[in-house]
Structure 1
Amino acid sequence: MKTDLNIILVHGFWGGAAHWSKVIVDLAKRGYKNIRAVEMPLISLASMPAEIGALIDEAAGDLAKN
């Protein structure tokens, strides 16, 4: 199993990053190290794809530094 992946967890409309806490613990126990749960301010649904894309780009940059 490949554990050096970047995992970005994005909550739904009524959720928040804290809702991923149990999932993060489980993924960490399985050996995954690059896990992020992001808090997305719901400004508009139209802006969410760009915001998520920026997070993916940031994670890719962090991986390149490792």
Structure 2
Amino acid sequence: MVIALANRYVLVPRMRQDEDRAAPWFVWMTKLEWAIGAVVLVIISLLRLSNLFDGLRK
């Protein structure tokens, strides 16, 4: 959420002033946001699978 807020309130206004400098940062931060989301999904999936397998063993 912090990354999205930084994109919205820091990088987007800077893009209006100096797009050439701000655009690469915006792309990098967006990719970072996607990567963090993917890691969270993997962790949640693994936790769910571990609970599922624990239930099958009983």
- Taking structure 1 as the reference length, the TM-score comes to 0.35
Q: TM-score, normalised by structure 2?
A: 0.39
- Structure of higher CA gyration radius: 2
Decide which structure has greater strand share. 1
Q: Which has the higher contact order (CA 8 A, sep 6+)?
A: 1
